[in-house]
A and B are shown apart, each in its own frame.
Chain A
Amino acid sequence: MTDIAATAPVRTSWLGRLEGKLSWILLGLVGLALPLLDDSYIGVIAQRAYIYWVLSAGLNLVVGYAGQIAIGWVSMLTLGAYTTAALAAGRVGPEWHPYLALAAGGLMGAVFGVIVGLPALRLRTFYFAMTTLAFSTIVTQVALAWKDVTGGGVGTPGPVFPWPFEPGWGFYYFCFILAALATWVTANIGSSRYGRALVAIRDAEVAAEASGIVKARLFTLIFLLAGALGGVAGGLFASLQSYITPEAFTFEMSVLFFIAILIGGRGSILGPALATIILTALPEFAAPLVQWSTFLYAALLLAIVLLVPGGIADMLDFKNRRPLTLHREIVPRTELLSRVLDRTDGRRAIVLRDISLHFGGVRAIDGLDLEIRSGEVHGLIGPNGSGKTTTLNVISGYYTPKTGTLQLDGADLPFDQPQVRANRRIARTFQTPRLVGAASVLENVMIGGTVHGHASFTEAMLSLPRHKRDERVLREAAMQALATVGLESLAEVRADRLQHSELRFMEIARALMLRPAFLMLDEPAAGLSAEEIRRLGDLIKAISREGVGVLLVEHHADLIFDICDRVTVLNLGKMLAAGTPNEIRSHREVVSAYLGA
């Protein structure tokens, strides 16, 4: 019956899966067969494209997925190249085996990738772009000055790899294999919960935190990977050039890597890969233009930013141009809730005592007491500016109050740490829906289940069994959550094509992914039709009957009085009244201050 449809995972047919991989298979076949041409000139261009892609694949996670403007990533190429070359040539201690030296180059890239990348945790876009740029300038300057190791302006010979990847077609296959590996690894990350978390940080950082995504940890891993790939690319580059000087690492290359990702499209792997190949090959076939190549790259960058911010991937996204059904109805299926939620045993509670919070001279909350109990819907109402959303933000860890305590089941809940709420199974929605517009509804909902994944970053990178199981479980859970709120037919649609009311329900589905013990809803009925509000009310009520403690911030008095077990009324940050809906409805001060006669 319908039940089965709701719980069955989304399966793509083998044809659909092949379609996704077809371009890669074709690219791979061309790459494998290229030596048959026996044209060493084309071979060198192809090797350069592979090497650039090894770096760009990692950078793609940083720029395309995480949205960080790391414009000077050529510095990783420089570091990797000099580390590999200097170690292999014996400029530092004894001569290293070239393959070992290459590994050291990757390690060097990883270390500096983190050093250069981590400021992104604190710095805004332009600041971060500037620091990566400045770093690449400094690396070049150091390379010029540190003559013992780098050979200064004279340069140093690149490593020569012995059998099986000796210069010529052997080295060609080495680059090819590493490029394929880089593609595989980054594609795995991109489609894992780590990749979704990166995109969530890019487009909806606050929601990412509420879903328990720890930005610092995730960024460290990504910058490690992107740096390592850049370093390895550098080692290969040094070998391909056979002799490296600081001038070989121009800023132009940084721009090339960067625009390849932008042209290809953010959040895509195939697009940037194709763009890298094209951009690498283009100047070779237009020899008179070589002098102008930087200019053309820059002009291209400007054109993309102004004209097609979505890149090739967006232009090719035909699936999302199909019109959606009009007059869609959201019909939640509350009977599915028992599968989506864990029944909470016993009485649990979030307790606020004497919370006060000031914004400058404004007392946003002034000595508030509040208790949210499992299995109850607690309404929080009051005029605009009375401190409702602020209270919610204190509980979910975005604000630190000046005084007061916040406890979950008798233990202190730390202020100012929104990302720990998810592990305590406290979920929330937002007044204006926070979502990843470019991702599908299903992916948006899956973000909510990030903390339930078990596979480590390495397991996800190598697509090991535990990671695959994670993905399957998350996908099924997300489909169930969507079915519960009544959106399963829109699972594959880009989230930014949904109507406002559908986004509200999608946010609830995302919150349900935590299997929450407490759910905080910030004006979920705003912008909904009367019929939708009634269904929303039923859904919220049913959620609380499964043992979830619900905090409902709302303006719709009817909804509040219909479904709440208890109501707290705020005015100017102070509690005006608290009690059952019936008590509140007849409370004289509340009626005069808020409800009206």
Chain B
Amino acid sequence: MLESILSYGLAVGAVYALIGITYNVMFSASRVFSFTAGMLGMLGGVLGALFIDKLGMNAILGFVLVLACGALLGVVTEILTVRPVLKSIEQHLYVLSTLAFALMVQQVTAIEWGTDAQPFPALIPIDPDSILAIIDQKFWLPLLACIVTIVGLEFLYRRTLIGRAFLAIAEDSYAARALGLPETGLRMASFALAGVIGAMAGFTGAQMLLAYFGNQPILSFYGFVPVALGGMGSNRGAVIGGLALGVFQQAANFLVGGIFAAVAVFAVFIVVLLLRPEGLAGAATARRV
């Protein structure tokens, strides 16, 4: 039992962590929390199943196409729902614009793809006797994706010029613009990057979570919990929080049933946020007057 709690919990946790990172990447470029993070995860699974299962593409081509779609959706999100709102006086309306866009995509998925959860194909043909088959690929794929993402982002942010430009925008967008950085372009690039990460989360997790339109609200919430608790913008917080959340949820599932797990996560989420609205690792709030 412990084994299945850990393997399933860590794998789901890795998906949550990746969705959390998706939130973060969008947030650091724009100060916007976007409801599209869960949508990207849901689409990663659905589009993957569509390309590979229904259209018969090979796994690698399907994977690349899914990521491309994620990037495209990220760019559309930025242009359609974020840019116009950031220009207006009431910037908090991004909550509604991103939610509306995510809902529209979800509904199209429900109508065109169907409301049933559909299976997702095994991606890598593995000899059942090989060492890789000890743990099912559906468990280690999300973890692998998570590790690749973290390493990749670290490399991007620390070693490349464009990554440093991302950091500059996140730190102080006014100063960055004064230095001549193209804020809008960088924001769009961040949303594209977030699209790739979110789609990858859904794609690698779909053997476990299935290709199901209803994954969207679940991923939106459980991807947000680690980020909110760990502090907005902190990828380390998202990974630690995501993995812990996944394992906790599975343990509760096995021991006391899924409803209790959902209620417990919600209760912890609310209580922690009420005590520390900036998250467990976040900085204190700014001056108001």
Q: Which residues of A contact B (CB under 8 A)?
A: 69, 71, 119, 122-127, 129-131, 133-135, 137-138, 141-142, 145-146, 205-206, 251, 255, 262, 291-292, 294-295, 297-299, 301-302, 305-306, 309, 359, 389, 393, 398-399, 430
Contact = CB atoms under 8 A, between A and B. Distances in A.
A134 B259 contact: no
Contacts of A131: 266, 269-270, 273
B99 A129 contact: yes
Given A134-B269, A135-B266, A306-B84, A294 B107 contact: yes
B54 interface: no
B85 A305 contact: yes
A295 B104 contact: yes
A145 B262 CA distance: 12
Interface stretch (B89-97, B166-174, B191-199): B89-97
Interface of B: 33, 80-81, 84-85, 88, 90, 92-93, 95-97, 99-101, 103-104, 107-108, 111, 217-218, 220-221, 224, 228, 257-259, 262-263, 266, 269-270, 273-274, 277, 287-289
Contact of A134 (B85, B90, B266): B266
Contacts of B270: 119, 131
Contacts of A302: 80-81, 96-97, 100-101, 104
Given A124-B277, A133-B221, A292-B111, A69 B95 contact: yes
Which of A124, A126, A131, A298 lies at the interface centre, i.e. has the most chain B CB atoms within 10 A of its CB?
A126
A292 B218 CA distance: 22
A301 B99 contact: yes
Contacts of B100: 298-299, 301-302, 305
Given A137-B217, A302-B81, A291 B224 contact: no
A133 B218 CA distance: 10
Contacts of A71: 95, 99
A302 B100 CA distance: 5
A146 B221 CA distance: 22
A102 to B, nearest CB: 26
A398 B93 contact: no
A294 B213 CA distance: 14
B273 A122 contact: yes
18 contacts: A71-B95, A123-B277, A124-B277, A125-B92, A125-B95, A129-B99, A130-B224, A137-B262, A141-B258, A294-B103, A294-B107, A295-B104, A298-B104, A298-B107, A305-B93, A305-B100, A306-B97, A399-B289
Contacts, number: 110
A306 B85 contact: yes
Given A137-B262, A298-B100, A359-B287, 8 more contacts: A130-B220, A131-B270, A294-B103, A298-B103, A301-B96, A301-B100, A302-B80, A302-B96
Which of A119, A135, A291, A302 lies at the interface centre, i.e. has the most chain B CB atoms within 10 A of its CB?
A302
Contact of B289 (A134, A292, A306, A398): A398
Contacts of B84: 306
Contacts of A251: 217
Contacts of A142: 259, 263
A145 B261 CA distance: 12
A125 B103 CA distance: 18
A210 to B, nearest CB: 9
Which of B92, B220, B289 lies at the interface centre, i.e. has the most chain A CB atoms within 10 A of its CB?
B289
Contacts of A255: 103
Contacts of B269: 131, 134
A582 to B, nearest CB: 33
A447 to B, nearest CB: 17
Shortest 7 CB-CB distances between A and B: which pairs? A298-B103, A302-B100, A126-B33, A295-B107, A301-B100, A145-B259, A125-B92
A122 B277 contact: yes
A60 to B, nearest CB: 16
Contacts of B289: 206, 389, 393, 398-399, 430
A519 to B, nearest CB: 17
Which of B93, B103, B218 lies at the interface centre, i.e. has the most chain A CB atoms within 10 A of its CB?
B103
A123 B266 CA distance: 15
B262 A309 contact: no
A133 B216 CA distance: 12
A467 B33 CA distance: 42
Contacts of B33: 126
B287 to A, nearest CB: 8
B180 to A, nearest CB: 28
A251 B224 CA distance: 19
Given A69-B96, A126-B95, A145-B259, A134 B221 contact: yes
A119 B274 contact: yes
Contacts of A291: 111
Given A71-B99, A142-B263, A398-B289, A137 B107 contact: no
A127 B273 contact: yes
B288 A127 contact: no
A135 B269 CA distance: 11
Contacts of B80: 302
A359 B286 CA distance: 11
B93 A309 contact: yes
Nearest to B271: A119
Contact of B274 (A122, A126, A135, A305): A122
Contacts of A69: 92, 95-96
Given A123-B273, A134-B266, A305 B97 contact: yes
Contacts of B257: 145
B104 A141 contact: no
Contacts of A125: 92, 95
Contacts of B228: 127, 130
A141 B107 contact: no
A255 B107 CA distance: 13
Contacts of A297: 103
Contacts of B85: 305-306
Contacts of B266: 131, 134-135, 138
Nearest to A392: B289
Contacts of A122: 273-274, 277
A398 B266 CA distance: 32
B219 to A, nearest CB: 12
B258 to A, nearest CB: 8
B120 to A, nearest CB: 23
Nearest to A124: B277
Contacts of A306: 84-85, 97
Which of A119, A359, A430 lies at the interface centre, i.e. has the most chain B CB atoms within 10 A of its CB?
A119
A292 B107 contact: yes
A125 B277 CA distance: 12
A306 B274 CA distance: 31
Given A126-B95, A301-B96, A309 B90 contact: yes
Contacts of B277: 122-124, 127
A446 B258 CA distance: 51
B64 to A, nearest CB: 29
Contacts of A393: 289
A281 B269 CA distance: 38
